[in-house]
């Protein structure tokens, strides 16, 4: 019989936006006081300047507070079978001490969310994602000997990203960190703190994510901050991170696609084949999984309606919220994320297009941009071409050991 536990939530109406355990340090560093709501937490959008924070990601070490990322502990004799039933990839192939990027669907094969699945042992997992799905997980766990609990408030997390990140962690006492391969997990004791580190991140660069008990958060911050003083360590907000993730070609739930559970209109939901996640659909894995029949039929019958593509756009005006046209006349889709890329010196974007555009029809693409200049919008129709993702790729992301500094 399933052992299910639902943590009682704090009373949100008494505290509309919570502060993460790292907030005292971020508040002290903030010059803009630009905060935003991430999952009910007050999180930095920009601390000093977007440019300074972005270049810290690409040239030094950036610290980003990932505590609001929703975290679920999944453990018990049937933990592997449950995770395999829930997600698209073959969890049986995920070894202990490894992380798997994955997603999960409803019974109609529409994506509920994507995230990372951590496997600590044969019977202990952690699922990290953007949206809250506790009810879905508890319902899915019926019949499995597994305990599921949300532990978001219990665990504080920092993304430690950039070319000097490994060196900073070494200086902080994380001995052997340089031997970790991408998607490895390891537990360390540094500065008297128990820290779980994964070689993961959302920047497309060398980087790690460090997780501690909430009560040890400030001690971890201070340890890393002191170790990184000579290596350009910088606290960053989401604006800079969002630019880096776009360069890396990564997608964001409810930005590049709508979570199936929250979509108001059924036709706004997306399957993995429609958002570039077809590579993770393990239709041949031994265990059944949610949405398998629908996804098998979609692939066999070619009924996918849309495709997510990368675009290289003329000029230097970001095409945010723009429409995409074929031959400048027929509307075929829209931009989901766009920016001028400082590293690649390109005007890049992700776009959701109606098939066959972006699949068999890839020529003569145009983007309609409205640029605000001196309080007047100027309409521009500019050429675009479909390109491979990621827009930015650096060998240091996967180099083991990373280059020392």
> Can you give the three-state secondary structure of the chain, one letter per residue?
CCCCCCCCCCCHHHCCCEECCCHHHHHHHCCCCEEEEECCEEEEEECCCHHHHHHHHHHCEEEEECCCCEEEEEECCCHHHHHHHHECCCHHHCCCCEEEEEEEECCCCCEEEEEEEEECCCCEEEEEECCCCHHHHHHHCCCCCCEEEECCCCEEEEEEECCCHHHHHHHCCCCCHHHCCCCEEEEEEECCEEEEEECCCCCCCCEEEEEEEHHHHHHHHHHHHHHCHHHCEEECCHHHHHHHHHHCCCCCECCCEECCCCCCCHHHECCHHHCCCHHHCCCCCCCCCCCHHHHHHHHHHCCCCEEEEEEEECCCCCCCCCEEEECCCEEEEEEEEEEEECCCCEEEEEEEEECCECCCECCCEEEEEEEEECCEEEEEEEEEEEECCCCCCCHHHCCCCCCCC
What's the rounded Cα separation, in Å, for the pair 120 and 395?
27
209 is in an annotated binding site: yes
Other CB atoms within a 10 A radius of the CB of residue 286 amount to 8
Known binding-site residues equal 209
Known binding-site residues for substrate equal 209
């Amino acid at each position: 019989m399933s052992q299910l536990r639902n943590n009682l939530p704090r009373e949100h109406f008494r505290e509309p936006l919570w502060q993460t355990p790292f907030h005292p340090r971020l508040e002290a560093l903030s010059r803009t006081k630009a905060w935003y709501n991430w999952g009910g937490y007050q999180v930095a959008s920009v601390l000093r300047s977007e440019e300074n924070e972005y270049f810290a990601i690409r040239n030094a070490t950036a610290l980003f507070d990932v505590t609001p990322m929703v975290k679920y502990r999944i453990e018990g004799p049937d933990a592997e079978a449950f995770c395999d039933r829930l997600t698209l990839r073959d969890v049986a192939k995920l070894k202990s001490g490894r992380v798997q990027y994955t997603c999960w669907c409803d019974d109609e094969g529409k994506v509920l969310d994507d995230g990372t699945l951590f496997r600590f042992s044969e019977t202990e997992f952690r699922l990290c994602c953007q949206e809250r799905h506790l009810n879905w997980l508890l319902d899915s766990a019926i019949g499995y000997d597994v305990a599921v609990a949300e532990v978001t408030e219990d665990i504080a997390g920092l993304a430690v990203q950039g070319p000097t990140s490994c060196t900073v962690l070494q200086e902080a006492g994380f001995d052997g960190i340089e031997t970790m391969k991408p998607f490895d997990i390891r537990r360390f004791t540094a500065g008297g703190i128990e820290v779980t580190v994964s070689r993961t991140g959302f920047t497309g660069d060398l980087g790690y994510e460090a997780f501690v008990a909430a009560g040890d958060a400030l001690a971890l911050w201070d340890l890393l901050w002191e170790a990184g003083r000579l290596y350009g360590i910088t606290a960053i907000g989401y604006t800079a991170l969002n630019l880096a993730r776009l360069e890396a070609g990564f997608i964001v739930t409810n930005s590049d696609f709508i979570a199936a559970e929250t979509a108001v209109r059924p036709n706004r939901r997306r399957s993995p084949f429609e958002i570039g996640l077809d590579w993770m659909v393990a239709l041949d894995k031994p265990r059944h999984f949610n949405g398998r029949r629908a996804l098998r039929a979609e692939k066999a019958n070619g009924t996918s309606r849309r495709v997510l593509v990368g675009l290289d756009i003329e000029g230097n005006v970001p095409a945010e919220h723009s429409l995409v046209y074929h031959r400048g006349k027929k509307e075929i889709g829209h931009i989901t994320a766009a920016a001028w890329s400082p590293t690649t010196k390109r005007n890049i974007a992700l776009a959701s297009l109606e098939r066959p555009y972006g699949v068999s029809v890839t020529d003569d693409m145009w983007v309609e941009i409205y640029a605000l200049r001196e309080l007047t919008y100027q309409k521009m129709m500019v050429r675009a071409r479909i390109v491979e993702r990621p827009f930015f790729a650096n060998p240091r992301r996967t180099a083991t050991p990373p280059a020392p500094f």
